[in-house]
Every structure is written in C-alpha cells, then in structure tokens.
Amino acid sequence: MNTETIKKEVNKAAKTERISGSEAIIRCLIAEGVDILYGYPGGAIMPVYDELFKYRDRIHHVLTRHEQGAAHAAQGYARISGRVGVAMATSGPGATNLITGIADAQIDSTPIVCITGQVPSHLLGTDAFQETDIVGISTPVTKWNAQVTKASEIPEVMAKAFYIAKSGRPGPVLIDITKDAQFEEFDFKYEKCTAVRSYNPVPKTDSNDVKAAAELINNAKKPMIVWGQGVILGKAEEELKAVIEKSGVPAAWTILGASAIPTSHPLNVGMVGMHGNYAPNKLTNECDLLIAIGMRFDDRVTGDLNTYAKQAKIIHFDIDPAEINKNVKVDLAVLGDSKESLALLLSELKENSHDAWLKEFNDLYAIEYDAVIKDDLLPEKEGLTMGEVLKEINNYSDGNAAIVSDVGQHQMIACRYAEFNHSKSNITSGGLGTMGFALPAAIGAKMAEPHREVVAIIGDGGYQMNIQELGTIFQQKAAVKIVVLNNEFLGMVRQWQQLFFDKRYASTEMTNPDFVTIAKGYHIDAKRVTKREELADAVKEMMESDASYFLEVCVEKEDNVFPMIPSGASVSDIRLS
Amino acid sequence: MSQEIKTFTISVYTENNIGLLNRISAIFQRRHINIESLTTSQSEIKNVNRFVIVVKITEDQAIKVVRQIEKQVEAIRAYYHTNDETIFTENCMFKIKSELLFEEPQIQNIIKESDARIVTVNRDFFVLENTGRRHEIEELREKLDKFGIMQFVRSGRIAVTKEEMKVSEILEEFRNQQ
C-alpha cells in the first residue's frame, strides 16, 4: 500500500533551489500569501530574522512589544480578513509568551500559524539556555503542532501547517524549528498541501438530513435560529440571510457570530447569552424549534443546561462532529460546511413568515428598551455610560467600523450596542475571555484591512495588560482608534462582587496612571472626556483622524451590565436589573 | 444514554508521529478520566499505529472522548467497545527466587495449573510469564505472593474487536482521492 500521508498541489513550475532552512521558512510564507507577520526576535530564531531582513521588501515583519501581542495581532489579522495570521517568536520565554494567544485562537477557531525558534537539536533535552518544551506545552491548545529538526522537513511541515490552520474548523498551528535546521542548507521546493490522510476537515453534508431539517423548519410554529461564528468562518453570510428571509425565522447570534447579518435586519433579534438580549434568551425557552448554526452551545450561551430549550426540537448545523451532542442533546444534526449546507437548506425551504412570533421578540425588546437600553444609550443621570459612547461611535461609523473589544463590561456593552453592516466586524475574545486581547488584535486588524476603520474598545484593566503595544502602533503608524472606557474598576468582577459577594470589592479597584500622558508619550493624539457635553466632539475628532487616536472616557464607576443571566441560572430567568 | 460507569476499550488508529501520545492522553487528563491502561503498537497496516486504551467511564463520555480523539489531525479513526465486543488479554511476568522452586514443591503445581511459562532460570532467580484476563493474573499473583515475589509486572490490555474497523478502506479512499 502507498504510505503517502499528505497530498500536495502539483506544481510543475516549481524549481529546486539550494537554500538554508531559514530562507526556506520565508519562502514558504511568501508562497502561502503571507504579507505581514508579527513577532519578536531572539537567539534561537535569529537566522530567520536575518532572512526577513533580506526579504523585507516582500514580507513585512511587525515588531510587537511582547510576544503575546504578536499572537493577538495575528488573531486580529485573521479575524478581520479570513486569512491565516502569522506570529513568530524565539525559544523559551518567547514561545511561552505566545501561549495565551494560541489558546485564545484554539477556543475561538482562529487560523494562525506560530513559528518558534528552538535550541539546536543536539541540545534538546539538556535544559539549554532558553530551551522549553513548547511542543509539549502547546499541545492541548493547538489544532496541530510539530517540531522540525532538519531543514529538509520545512517545506512539507509548513505546507501542512497552513492547510490545517485554515481548513475545516480553523485553529492555531505551532511549528517549532531548531536553530541547526534553520542554518542547514538543502534542496528547496514548495508545493502546497491539499489533503492530509488522517484528517477529514469537512464532513459531507447528508442531503437527507437537510431535507429533514427543512421539514422541521417548514412545519414549525415558533422557530428560532441561533447562529455563531461558523457562519462567518464558512463565508455563509449570504446563505444565512437568504435562509432567514425565505423562512421568516427570527435569528439571534452568539458573541462571535455578531456582524454576520447586519444589525438593522428586521429578523435579527439580537444576542443570546449571559448579557445578551432579553427576547432571544427568554424565547429560547418558548420556541418550538431551535436551529443552531455554527455555534457550540457554550455555557455562557445556554446557562443551566437542564432548563435550556427543553420544550423545543433542536437542529444543529456544524462542521465539527465533536460538537454534536457535546453540551446539548439535539434532535437532528446536519454536518458539513455551513455555506454548502445552508445553500441546500434554502432550496428545500418554503416561503414563510412568522409575524405573530416575531412580534413576541419585538414586545420583549420594548420591555428591555424601557428597563435597560434607554438608560444605557440616553442616560439622564450625570455620569457617562459605556452605552452612550458606543452610540456616539455608531453615529460616526454608520455601522461600517470594525469593533475590537477586550474582555469585561465594556465588551458586553460593545457587542450589545455596536451596529454592524459588514461581516467580520466584531473582533473579540469570546471563548477564552482574554483581557489584553483588544489592543494588539486591533493592530493586526488594521494592518490586514487598512481601508477599514478599526476601533478598539477597552476597559482600564485590560488596556494595562498589553499597553506596551502602543509602541507598535506608533512605530507602524497603524491608524487604530483606541477607546478606553475607564471606570477605575475591574468592572465585571466588581459587578459580580456587588451581586454575589455582598459588595466586598476585593482587589478590583484600580488606581490608574494618566492614560492621556502615556498615549502622548508614544506620540499618539489623545483626549480625555469626563463630561457628556464633550463626548460627541471628541468621538468625532477621533473618527475623523487619519492617524491613531486615543480617547479615554471616564464613565460611571459602579454601573452594571444588564440584562444578565446569573451563572448557573436558566436563560428564561434573565434579569433586567 | 446509559450513565452507568463501565469498562470501555478505546481503539485508535493513528499516524506514527512524535507527540501524538501526549495529545491523546491530554484528552483524558482534561476530563479527569483515569487511564486504566494504555498500549501502543504497530497495527495491521504498515506505518499505522494502534492505541488500545482502557477506561472506566459512561457511554456518553466514551462517545465524546472518541470524537475528541478523532478530531486530532493525526488520528485516523477511533472506536469504543465494551468487554463483550472485544477479545482481550493481558500479559504478566514474575521474578522469583530459584531456591523456592526446589524448596516449595507447591510452586511447581501452581505453574502447571496456571499454564504459566518459565522464561528463564538461573542460580538466583527464575522468571515466569503468563497471559490471561486480569482476574486470572491476579489469582496467580495471590498464590505466588505467599512465597515471595522479587518483581511483578503486568502489561496493559491488548484487544481486538469482534466487528470490523475498516481503517484500510479509509486509507484506500484517501489514496484514490485526486
């Protein structure tokens, strides 16, 4: 039997050339269409940096100020563009500093390739200077990883890395390359990988499952869609929109699904989950059919599983068989690529509408508006709210900006209130909840799509976790707009302390530095807003700036985010206050 | 779905790559599942490895674990089976003082009755080897324990399944794919 384990693109034009392993790495990146990579040099990766210098007119290396920043920047690049993000670091601490970004990319299915230098192969296992077992450390948080100790392995491993990162359900791949393999010369030829024997990235969609799904949808009285990032990763936004419009089914989104369908679409009924909208959470427990598309029933979405949509039949469309019945037992699973399965579904659906059912969503929205949204967006109290800042940003962006949020109260407010007209516009750390994500991710997003407005919305806590990336913004002249919503607290933890720990504010109050001075130290235009009457002009000035801009808004210190499903409660027990 | 905890044998066909053992064992560790035994070897297919992993879990957990294993890029296929669905055995070795062989005639009877095999004998010790189910090996160990065992070691379970696993077909399909 033929024991070939991967298939490669036939490239007869490819010539064999004798080059070093490090040059081969750069040539592989160029062949994969990489134009920008993020990283930080060090001893064990120096031969590759030497080649990056020689190839600097063909591939742009961005020096971040910390390897974690490089990983998040690669994520931001991937999330806004759909292309594979690349981060590079040296061995030891350089490699371990990438781990948080890799773990974030794993849980949020973001295609990135991380390349780490490693000590020379003869020193492996000797506790050499800056040696760490990064393949061992990264195993549980990578889709795939490998160590290369011979230059001749580089082309095939790199080809596999890019193929695996972007195919099927995407994810992070780490390639660790020993320094001797970087120096070694060999006969280089690059052929892209097209298949891996042990890996089935896209399960075939069974047309009978699609027909069964269509029948359930066509006959449902109170159907509801919850879509997730699978729609965006599968480039199935148009198909989803067509399905929604033809079937008339109200559709809600998970935090990572945001922006796949425009905010203003009449059948877009908002966000599900812990701080999602009132209607889709409540009505999850009243629908007769729940259609989950490219989402994974995260605990922040479902609340208590024993009381989650028990009355409904559930259909789950997903590319990953491991997600089926993982958290929620479903009545029907439709495996496969969302673009293909939704297109098949569309042809089986009846034209339909559910006006009375949709009105239930709208009525509950009105309740949420009166109880929460009005006070968030049009506050009458003196202190500024996070919501009104988002409202001002919407006024100037017209829903065309990409919003990169960090983690915490401001993230929930950003995802609840930001308006989106374009897909891939909500970039946030969903699954891992990584504070410090937004500033470097915004750099990656802006550099991937320079024509787009990129606004980072960050809390005063998360901002200080990767504040050093202001240096990257300054050096790269990346025109990122940075909004820090400063309440001088780790606000989400403080909210929980208030609600569940009798207001014992243990280590959540922040004594902050002068953020405007810090931004100005990096030669970034900066302004602080403390009064409502200053807000509109300051946001306007920021949005009209062609350069990077820092805006600090001092908001009410002890505001809470509502609605809220308390941890472990049922989605229908969502609280408005 | 049965929530009863049972013994399952998980069979995994994989590529022969460094690091895969770590990747597979991490799936169990993360879910706080204790691995009762784990054996890896060449499978019936050239360059394809086979893991035989024994765990005590519910069938619901077994299904989820198998899917997580199959999700790993270098795992070709994974299956779970109950004891009834497999033919399985374990292997054991005992190192015992040679003088006992002559001083305690009962030992010779134990060896005969258990079908154990003497692998080697020298002046100081002899080595017994046996194959069987866990309870058979335990029974033998208990009997020999009275006389003193210098060393005892038992292998993990190895198992073949009654049903076909059709891994060759998957590989054949890949080979024919354009």
Catalytic residues of A: 67, 129-130, 179, 492
Q: Cβ distance A283 to A223 under 8 Å? A: no
Residue B21 at interface with chain A, using a CB cutoff of 8 Å:
no
Q: How many domains does chain A have?
A: 3
Q: Specify whether A413 is located in the same domain as A352.
A: no
Overall residue count recorded for chain B in this entry: 178
Q: Specify whether A352 is located in the same domain as A387.
A: no
Q: Specify whether A439 is located in the same domain as A514.
A: yes
Say yes or no: do domains B6-86 and B88-154 share a fold. yes
| Chain A residues touching residue B64 (CB < 8 angstroms) | 322, 325-326
For an interface test with B, give the residue of A2, A5, A145, A198 to mutate (most B CBs within 10 A). A198
Choosing among 3.20.20.70, 3.30.70.260, 3.30.870.10, 2.40.110.10, the CATH entry for B6-86 is: 3.30.70.260
Residue B139 at interface with chain A, using a CB cutoff of 8 Å:
no
* Whole-number Cα distances in Å, A334 to A215, A227, A308, A341, A458: 13, 14, 20, 8, 37
A9 secondary structure, DSSP code: -
| CATH code linked to domain B88-154 | 3.30.70.1150
Q: Specify whether A399 is located in the same domain as A543.
A: yes
CATH number of the domain at A479, please: 3.40.50.970
Q: Specify whether A51 is located in the same domain as A183.
A: yes
Q: Specify whether A299 is located in the same domain as A348.
A: yes
Closest CA to A458 of A489, A434, A436: A436
Q: What is the 3-state secondary structure (H, E, C) of A433-497?
A: CCCCCHHHHHHHHHHHCCCCCEEEEEEHHHHCCCHHHHHHHHHHCCCCEEEEEECCECHHHHHHH
Gap between the Cα atoms of A79 and B139, Å rounded = 60
Dihedral of the alpha carbons of A263, A264, A266, A272, in degrees to the nearest 10:
20
Domain assignment present for A256: yes
Q: What does the domain layout of chain B look like in residue ranges?
A: 6-86, 88-154
Among the partner residues B15, B172, B175, nearest to A198 by beta-carbon distance: B15
Gap between the Cα atoms of A146 and A167, Å rounded = 17
Q: Specify whether A475 is located in the same domain as A515.
A: yes
Tokens representing residue A143 in the block: 């889709």
Assign residue A168 a region (left: φ > 0; alpha: ψ between -120 and 50; beta: otherwise): left
Gap between the Cα atoms of A401 and B23, Å rounded = 40
Among the partner residues B15, B22, B63, nearest to A5 by beta-carbon distance: B15
Q: Specify whether A335 is located in the same domain as A403.
A: no
Read off the pTM.
0.97
Rg over alpha carbons for chain A, rounded to the nearest Å, is: 24
Q: Specify whether A212 is located in the same domain as A189.
A: no
Q: Specify whether A533 is located in the same domain as A481.
A: yes
Domain assignment present for A168: yes
Among the partner residues A143, A197, A320, nearest to B174 by beta-carbon distance: A197
Cα A241 from chain centroid (whole Å): 21
Straight-line distance from the first to the last Cα atom of chain A, in angstroms, rounded to the nearest whole number: 66
> Which residues numbered 82-101 in B keep a CB inside 8 Å of some CB on A?
none
Domain assignment present for A313: yes
Q: Please give, rounded to a whole number of angstroms, the shortest distance from the CA of A4 to a CA of chain B.
A: 8
Contact A197 B76 (CB under 8 A): yes
Domain assignment present for A390: yes
Instruction: Give yes or no for residue B1 having a pLDDT over 70.
Output: no
pLDDT tens string for chain A (577 positions)? 445 889 998 878 778 999 999 999 999 999 999 999 999 999 999 999 999 999 999 999 999 999 999 999 999 999 999 999 999 999 999 999 999 999 999 999 999 999 999 999 999 999 999 999 999 999 999 999 999 999 999 999 999 999 999 999 999 999 999 999 999 999 999 999 999 999 999 999 999 999 999 999 999 999 999 999 999 999 999 999 999 999 999 999 999 999 999 999 999 999 999 999 999 999 999 999 999 999 999 999 999 999 999 999 999 999 999 999 999 999 999 999 999 999 999 999 999 999 999 999 999 999 999 999 999 999 999 999 999 999 999 999 999 999 999 999 999 999 999 999 999 999 999 999 999 999 999 999 999 999 999 999 999 999 999 999 999 999 999 999 999 999 999 999 999 999 999 999 999 999 999 999 999 999 999 999 999 999 999 999 999 999 999 999 999 999 999 999 999 999 999 999 9
Residue written as token pair 């913004």: A473
Q: Specify whether A277 is located in the same domain as A334.
A: yes
Domain extent, residue A481, equals: 382-554
For an interface test with B, give the residue of A9, A144, A197 to mutate (most B CBs within 10 A). A197
Contact A322 B75 (CB under 8 A): no
pLDDT tens digit sequence for B62-71:
999 999 999 9
Domain assignment present for A563: no
| Chain A residues touching residue B18 (CB < 8 angstroms) | 147
Q: What angle do CA B124, B126, B132 make, to 5 degrees?
A: 155
CATH number of the domain at A216, please: 3.40.50.1220
- Here the ipTM equals 0.94
Q: Specify whether A284 is located in the same domain as A182.
A: no
